[in-house]
Amino acid sequence: MKKDITEDVKYVVETKIDGLSVALEYKKGVFVRGATRGNGQVGEDITENLRTIKHIPKTLKEPVDIIVRGEVFIGKEEFERLNDELEEGEKFANARNLAAGSLRQLDSSICKKRPLDIFIFNVQKSKDIKFTSHYESLLYMEKLGFNVNPVKILCSDIKEVINAINKIGEDREFLSFGIDGAVVKVDNLEQREFLGTTFKVPKWAVAYKYPPEQKETILKDIICQVGRTGAITPMAILEPVKVAGSTISKTTLHNEDFIKEKGLKIGDTVVIQKAGDVIPEVVKAVKTKRTGKEKTFVMPTTCPVCGGPVIREEGEAVTRCIGIECKARNLRNIIHFASKEGMNIEGLRRKNNRAII
- CATH number, domain with residue 155: 3.30.470.30
Q: Residue 203: which pLDDT band, with cuts at 50, 70 and 90?
A: very high
Q: Determine, yes or no, domain membership for 345.
A: no
**Co-location of 80 and 225 in the same domain:** no
Q: Determine, yes or no, domain membership for 329.
A: no
Distance CA 129, CA 304 (A): 67
**Co-location of 114 and 56 in the same domain:** yes
Alpha helix (H) ranges present in the chain? 47-50, 76-84, 95-103, 108-113, 134-144, 158-171, 189-195, 256-262, 327-337, 350-356
Q: Determine, yes or no, domain membership for 328.
A: no
Q: Residue 336: which pLDDT band, with cuts at 50, 70 and 90?
A: confident
Whole-number pLDDT of residue 352: 55
pLDDT at 89 over 80: no
Q: Which residue has the higher pLDDT, 210 or 264?
A: 264
pLDDT at 198 over 90: no
Q: How far is CA 199 from CA 68, 69, 188, 196, 203, in A?
A: 21, 19, 21, 10, 10
pLDDT at 43 over 80: no
Q: Residue 349: which pLDDT band, with cuts at 50, 70 and 90?
A: low
pLDDT at 357 over 70: no
**Co-location of 196 and 229 in the same domain:** no
Whole-number pLDDT of residue 287: 94
Helix (H, G, I), strand (E, B) or coil at 88: helix
Name the nearest CA neighbour of 298 among 325, 260, 327, 270: 260
Average pLDDT over residues 135-143: 97
Name the nearest CA neighbour of 249 among 284, 210, 223, 227: 223
Number of domains in the chain: 2
Q: Are 319 and 312 in contact (CB under 8 A)?
A: yes
Q: How far is CA 171 from CA 7, 15, 164, in A?
A: 32, 11, 11
Whole-number pLDDT of residue 48: 94
- What CATH number is associated with residue 252? 2.40.50.140
Whole-number pLDDT of residue 88: 60
Q: Residue 5: which pLDDT band, with cuts at 50, 70 and 90?
A: confident
Name the nearest CA neighbour of 47 among 120, 124, 108: 108
Q: Residue 135: which pLDDT band, with cuts at 50, 70 and 90?
A: very high
- CB-hemisphere CA count at 13 Å for 30? 2
Which of these three, 156, 181, 208, is where a domain ends? 208
Q: Helix 76-84 crosses helix 95-103 at what angle (to 10 degrees)?
A: 80
Whole-number pLDDT of residue 267: 97
Catalytic residue annotation: 16
**Co-location of 138 and 259 in the same domain:** no
Most confident of 37-41, 90-94, 209-213: 209-213
Q: With b meaning 16 or more CB within 10 Å and e meaning fewer, what string describes 232-244?
A: bbbebebeeeebb
pLDDT digits (tens, 9 = 90+) for 216-247: 999 999 999 999 999 999 999 999 998 876 78
**Co-location of 104 and 37 in the same domain:** yes
| Residue-averaged pLDDT of the chain | 89
Whole-number pLDDT of residue 49: 95
**Co-location of 163 and 70 in the same domain:** yes
pLDDT at 356 over 60: no
Distance CA 240, CA 218 (A): 8
Q: Determine, yes or no, domain membership for 308.
A: no
Q: Determine, yes or no, domain membership for 321.
A: no
Distance CA 1, CA 14 (A): 18
Q: Determine, yes or no, domain membership for 15.
A: yes
Q: Determine, yes or no, domain membership for 161.
A: yes
Average pLDDT over residues 270-283: 84
pLDDT at 355 over 60: no
- Residue 238, C-beta contacts closer than 8 angstroms, at least 6 positions apart: 217, 218, 219, 220, 248, 249, 250, 251, 270, 272
**Co-location of 190 and 237 in the same domain:** no
Amino acid identity, position 302 = T
Distance CA 335, CA 234 (A): 21
pLDDT digits (tens, 9 = 90+) for 115-124: 999 999 999 9
Q: Which residue has the higher pLDDT, 336 or 259?
A: 259
**Co-location of 15 and 157 in the same domain:** yes
Alpha helix (H) ranges present in 51-153? 76-84, 95-103, 108-113, 134-144
Q: Determine, yes or no, domain membership for 133.
A: yes
**Co-location of 166 and 62 in the same domain:** yes
Which of these three, 208, 233, 249, is where a domain ends? 208
Q: What is the pTM of this model?
A: 0.73
Distance CA 132, CA 296 (A): 64
The parent domain of residue 72 ranges over 11-208
Which of these three, 208, 238, 267, is where a domain ends? 208
pLDDT above 70 as % of the chain: 94
- Cα angle, residue 347 at apex, residues 346 and 350 outer, rounded to 5°: 115
Q: Residue 162: which pLDDT band, with cuts at 50, 70 and 90?
A: very high
Q: Residue 351: which pLDDT band, with cuts at 50, 70 and 90?
A: low
- Residue 44, C-beta contacts closer than 8 angstroms, at least 6 positions apart: 35, 36, 38, 104
**Co-location of 71 and 190 in the same domain:** yes
**Co-location of 169 and 227 in the same domain:** no
Query: Which range is least confidently modeled, 270-274, 306-310, 344-348?
Result: 344-348
**Co-location of 47 and 168 in the same domain:** yes
